[in-house]
Amino acid sequence: MNQHAKHRVLRTAAAAVCALLAAAQVRELVAHQVPWHLVGVCGSALFLVMFGAVDRLVARFFTVRLSCLDCDFGVELTGADSAEVTRWRAATANHPHHGPTREVR
Ligand SMILES: [Zn+2]
């Protein structure tokens, strides 16, 4: 399984877990007879906030940063396979007037 596929699987699993957690909270709100329009807004907000945070965390593990040692030029690749990383490494290494790049995971 390549990096892109792993990233997609983890992202889907994160969405499922966040949806379950939001649904559990929605269930609590319904049990307390909160009006449906508020339940919908709260449930959506909970899902979006949790998934946004988890998605950023998951993406961090699949992001490669390549940058020039001598200037601010750099790229971030999320879920990229090794061929794409190699291509961008060569591109950043050929950054005008500069030498090799550093890689930060
Ligand atoms: Zn440079």
Average pLDDT over the chain reads 88
Residue 100 pairs with which residues in a beta bridge? none
Q: How far is the CA of 75 from the centre of ligand 1 (A)?
A: 12
**Amino acid letter, residue 33:** Q
CA of 67 to the centre of ligand 1 (A): 8
Cα-to-centroid distance, 57 and ligand 1 (Å): 28
Measured between alpha carbons, how far is 72 from 65 in angstroms, rounded to an integer? 12
Using alpha carbons only, give the angle 81, 59, 21 rounded to the nearest 5 degrees.
Answer: 135
Q: What are the pLDDT digits (tens) for 29-72? A: 999 999 999 999 999 999 999 999 999 998 888 898 998 877 88
| pTM beyond cutoff 0.85 | no
Both tokens assigned to 27:
């269930």
